[in-house]
Structures are given as structure tokens and as C-alpha cells.
């Protein structure tokens, strides 16, 4: 019988320093005694942010700050290496590899400074360095524990389109590369340690899958290798009923469906990259979220169907870095082209639309876009409607960046009357003003817009109303291998 293959992904905090990497190596060693394991690693925590900042300084011609950032990164990685690897020869060999990667980064930054231009392709190349640095260190830490291991850059494995900053995988080609490069290693009992976050086009140009994309790397590799499970190791106990940083009573959810987890991720639950479950959708591979700081805890199992918690609402989430744009005024009543023109502008601007709401009076069309898209979208709308504003057909086009979307999510909310009523009554009791509301016809998500300052109270009120802190049975369900 085929042994169950596990793909294990470790996020930034899980590989944040030598002590964390040591724990990761133990988790992988223990699992690899029972089943073949593929490890996928993020950059050490904070490193991708530092690299992006360095790239932006380079674009501004400030090579001094770029140099300072690289010096700091070099120090941190070398410190981890010193603590983890006892053999001097091995340490030197890994340090040599890190040197090459740093030299590449410095060359890329110098080129950027010279041209005063940071293209999406160069930004991808610079921001990929963190994963390329962490993978050899983690592989070295495994070798220290006598686990045969090899670091692999995912540019050899994950073939993508050329959408820099958010590339999508070409699965058939990816499968071919994985079968050729990874399966033989597994056959020899070697644990491949693969860089998360990155891939390469068919021409071999490095791409990234988007911020937080190592989760997606893990499921892409899981699907390509027909893994039995993907385990995403992070710094919390699993998918929780709300972000524990905002709602202290939040609890771990034992089992949740692909749809529910995707809705939560899409609406800001950082624990999972929004595209993660796309890759395993067809094969139905279960994805676990577990805590690398507390590996004895069961975590959350994400399955195609999920499991009911006995109520309609499963979890809450909030997305903060967004802006509310309103196009309106009494003059637009009965002017249907305003809607069409508004959304052709957002499409043209490639603005990421998160929520749309319009009342029947057509006084206002309001919608939410990602904060980074807001300014250029509003400028384009003002241009599109300049004549209408002059003739008072459109009265105002406004933008409010101090808002947030809160979403109430649960697949079993479908057809349960009263959930919206209970949500809004609970908010009312806490004096939280609701600015706009949307509910998709899938009925697995009620989203509403509140002022940024009210996010925490809104989450706490709804969490209490649906008794989410108590409802979740903390039973032990475990992955096939512990």
C-alpha cells in the first residue's frame, strides 16, 4: 500500500529564528520516520517586508539604506546558521550558498538604483530572496538531526503564468517537474525542503504567487505530488472563530469546509492565503492548520464538506486595508448607465472589488476596493463623470479609507432565518453603526461595512451573539500522522 505523503508548510514565525527552526526540524523528523514528507518553507518572519523596503530604497537611489537592510538580513541569517549547524564544513558550505543569494540581491538593487526603476519582475526577484535563504538553513537543520534533506528552489518545480506579484500555477507542467525532481528524492528517503512563495514562467523567469503565498505553494505542490495531506504549520492552533488578536474568546474550529475557509481567507483571515484551497479543490486533499509552537494540539482540518458545529455561523473575519467609494446624488435616479460606467472604470483600473451595495432608490452606488487601489480608482471615476458632475447628474464621488468589512461566515447559514437580524441587533446594542450591507446569494456570508474604529466591538458583539467561544467542541481529531 502507498504510504501517505505529507506536504508540510512552515510560515514565517515558525522559522523566525534558530530556536523555531530547531522545532520545525523536530516536527519534520518525527513525521518523516513514518511517512515521506515534503517541507515547504517561508522566509524568516519579517524578511520579505525588509526586502521589499530595500527594493523601494534602491528605486529611490538610496543605496545606503538598501545596504543597511542587507547587512541586517545577513546578520540574522548567519546567526541562525551558527546556532543550528555544529559542523564547520557544513556551516561554511551553507554560508557560501547564502553569500551567493545575498550577492544576487545586491546586484538586483544596484541595477534598480541605476535605472531608478523597480519593475514587477525585479521586485519579484528581490522579494523571493527570503525563501531562497531560509530553505538551505532548514535543510541544514534537518541534516543536523540525521535526516537526509535537500533544499530546492521552487523555480524548478512550480511553473506559472507571467503575472508578477500574483502568478498562477500551470498545473500540468508543475506536475511534470515535481514528478521528475521530487519523486526520486522521496524514493531515496530524502526530505526536500522547498521554497514557498515563488515559481518561474515557462521561460524560467522567477515569479511570486502574492504576499502570504507560501500556503498556496504548499497546496500546489500537494496537488502536483498527489499528497494525502497538506499541513500548514503556523503560530496559532488552527482556523479560529475570529482573529485571536482582536477577539480574545476566539476558539479553534476542529473542522471547516473548503468554502468556509476560503470565504474567511478572502475576507482577511490572514491564517490562510485566499487562493490556497483552489489547488486542492479537484483532488479533495485535506488541509490541516496546526501550531508549530504546540505540535501536540490537533489543529483544524479543512475538508471539502466540513462539519457542522450545530449552529449556522462558523466564524467571523474582518478586512481592514480597504476603502469605501461612493458615487451618488439624487440626479442618478433612473440613470442606469451610471452603474455600468462605474464598474467599467473599476475593471479598467483592475481594482480589487470586495463588496458592492446599492439601494433601490439608486441614490448611491457604494463599493469597497482594496486600500491600494482606492486613489487611482477615484481619480479615474472623477474623470469619467466630469461632465455629469458639471451638469449635477452625479453629485459626488467620495472615498472613505477609515472603514472595514466584517464578515459572518458559515455554510449552514443558508436558509436559516434570523441570522442577519441577530447580527445587526447585537451590533446595535454595542452602538456600532453599519454603513453598508451585502449578502451573496450563496448565503454563506453576510458582510457589512463599519467604521475602522468599530471593528473590534463589532467582532466581539457578533462572536458573543452566536456563542462562538463556547459552541466549538474541543475534541481531539488528528491528522493520520502525528
* 151 or 265: CB nearest ligand ADP: 265
Side-chain-side CA neighbours of 377 within 13 Å: the count stands at 32
* 97 or 275: CB nearest ligand ADP: 275
* 212 or 299: CB nearest Mg ion: 212
Cβ-closest position to Mg ion:
212
Residues 278-317 that bind ligand ADP (CB under 6 A): 315, 317
Q: Provide long-range contacts, Cβ within 8 A and 24+ apart, for 92-96.
A: 94/136, 94/137, 94/140
130 binds, among ligand ASP, ligand ADP, Mg ion, none (CB under 5 to 8 A by kind): ligand ASP
Which of these ranges, 56-64, 236-244, 275-283, 363-371, lies near ligand ADP under the rule CB under 6 A?
236-244
Cell 557560501 maps to which residue?
A: 96
Burial label, 417 (beta-carbon count in 10 A; 0-12, 13-18, 19+): exposed
Q: How far apart are the first and last CA of the chain?
A: 19
**Which residues bind to ligand ASP, rule: CB under 6 A?**
11-12, 42-43, 48, 130, 196-197, 211-214
- Which helix H or strand E contains 464, and what residues bound it? helix 455-465
Q: Least separation, in Å, of the C-beta of 63 and ligand ASP?
A: 24
Residue 84 and residue 321: Cα distance in Å, rounded?
Answer: 38
Report CA Rg, the chain: 24
**Which residues bind to Mg ion, rule: CB under 5 A?**
11, 212
Q: Which of 435, 368, 372, 366 is nearest to 397 (CA)?
A: 366
Tell me: does residue 14 bind ligand ADP (CB under 6 A): yes
Tell me: does residue 242 bind ligand ADP (CB under 6 A): yes
Tell me: does residue 222 bind ligand ADP (CB under 6 A): no
* 32 or 42: CB nearest ligand ASP: 42
Among 83, 235, 395, 443, binds ligand ADP (CB under 6 A): 235
DSSP 237-248: SSSBSS-TTT-T
39 binds, among ligand ASP, Mg ion, ligand ADP, none (CB under 5 to 8 A by kind): none
Q: Least separation, in Å, of the C-beta of 351 and ligand ASP?
A: 21
* 159 or 287: CB nearest ligand ADP: 287
- Cell numbers that stand for 325 in this block: 467609494
Among 59, 124, 243, 260, binds ligand ADP (CB under 6 A): 243
276 binds, among ligand ADP, Mg ion, ligand ASP, none (CB under 5 to 8 A by kind): none
Tell me: does residue 219 bind ligand ADP (CB under 6 A): no
Q: Least separation, in Å, of the C-beta of 325 and ligand ADP?
A: 25
With contact defined as beta carbons under 8 Å apart, do 452 and 402 qualify?
yes
DSSP 50-103: HHHHHHHHHHTT-HHHHHHHHHHHHHHHHHHHHHH---HHHHHHHHHHHHHHHH
The residues binding ligand ADP (CB under 6 A) are: 11-14, 42, 212, 234-236, 239-240, 242-245, 264, 269-271, 315, 317
Amino acid at each position: 500500500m502507498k504510504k501517505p505523503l505529507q506536504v508540510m508548510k512552515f510560515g514565517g514565525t515558525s522559522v523566525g529564528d534558530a530556536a523555531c527552526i530547531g522545532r520545525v526540524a523536530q516536527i519534520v523528523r518525527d513525521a518523516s520516520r513514518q511517512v515521506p514528507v515534503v517541507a515547504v518553507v517561508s522566509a524568516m518572519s519579517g524578511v520579505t517586508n525588509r526586502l521589499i523596503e530595500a527594493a523601494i530604497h534602491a528605486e529611490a537611489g538610496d543605496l545606503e539604506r538598501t545596504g543597511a537592510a542587507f547587512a541586517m538580513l545577513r546578520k540574522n541569517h548567519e546567526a541562525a546558521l551558527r546556532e543550528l549547524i555544529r559542523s564547520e564544513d557544513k556551516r561554511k558550505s551553507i554560508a557560501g550558498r547564502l553569500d551567493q543569494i545575498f550577492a544576487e540581491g545586491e546586484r538586483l538593487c544596484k541595477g534598480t538604483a541605476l535605472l531608478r526603476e523597480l519593475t514587477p519582475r525585479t521586485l519579484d526577484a528581490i522579494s523571493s530572496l527570503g525563501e531562497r535563504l531560509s530553505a538551505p538553513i532548514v535543510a541544514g537543520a534537518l541534516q543536523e538531526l540525521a535526516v537526509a534533506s535537500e533544499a530546492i528552489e521552487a523555480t524548478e518545480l512550480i511553473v506559472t503564468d507571467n503575472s508578477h506579484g500574483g502568478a498562477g500555477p500551470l498545473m500540468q507542467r508543475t506536475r511534470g517537474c515535481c514528478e521528475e525532481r521530487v519523486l526520486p528524492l522521496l524514493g531515496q528517503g530524502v526530505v526536500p525542503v522547498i521554497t514557498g512563495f515563488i515559481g518561474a514562467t515557462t521561460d524560467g523567469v522567477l515569479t511570486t504567487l502574492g504576499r502570504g503565498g507560501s500556503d498556496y505553494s504548499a497546496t500546489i505542490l500537494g496537488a502536483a505530488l498527489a499528497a494525502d495531506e497538506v499541513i500548514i504549520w503556523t503560530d496559532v492552533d488552527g482556523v479560529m472563530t475570529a482573529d485571536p488578536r482582536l477577539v480574545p474568546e476566539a476558539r479553534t474550529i476542529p473542522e471547516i469546509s473548503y468554502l468556509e475557509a476560503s470565504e474567511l481567507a478572502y475576507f482577511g483571515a490572514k491564517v490562510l492565503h485566499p487562493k490556497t484551497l483552489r489547488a486542492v479543490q479537484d483532488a479533495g486533499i485535506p488541509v490541516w492548520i496546526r501550531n508549530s509552537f504546540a505540535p501536540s494540539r490537533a489543529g483544524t482540518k479543512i475538508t471539502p464538506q466540513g462539519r457542522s458545529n450545530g449552529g449556522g455561523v462558523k466564524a467571523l473575519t474582518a478586512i481592514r486595508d480597504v476603502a469605501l467609494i461612493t458615487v451618488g446624488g439624487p440626479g442618478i435616479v433612473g440613470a442606469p448607465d451610471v452603474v455600468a460606467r462605474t464598474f467599467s472604470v473599476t475593471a479598467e483600473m483592475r481594482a480589487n472589488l470586495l463588496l458592492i451595495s446599492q439601494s433601490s432608490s439608486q441614490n448611491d452606488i457604494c463599493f469597497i476596493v482594496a486600500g491600494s487601489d482606492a486613489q487611482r480608482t477615484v481619480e479615474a471615476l472623477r474623470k469619467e463623470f466630469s461632465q455629469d458632475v458639471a451638469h449635477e447628474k452625479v453629485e459626488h464621488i467620495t472615498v472613505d479609507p477609515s472603514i472595514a468589512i466584517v464578515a459572518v461566515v458559515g455554510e449552514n447559514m443558508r436558509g436559516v432565518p434570523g441570522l442577519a437580524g441577530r447580527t445587526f441587533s447585537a451590533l446595535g446594542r454595542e452602538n456600532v453603526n453599519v454603513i453598508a450591507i451585502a449578502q451573496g446569494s450563496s448565503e454563506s456570508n453576510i458582510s457589512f461595512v463599519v467604521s475602522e474604529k468599530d471593528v473590534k466591538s463589532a467582532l466581539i458583539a457578533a462572536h458573543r451573539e452566536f456563542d462562538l467561544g463556547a459552541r466549538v467542541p474541543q475534541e481531539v481529531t488528528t491528522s493520520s500522522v502525528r
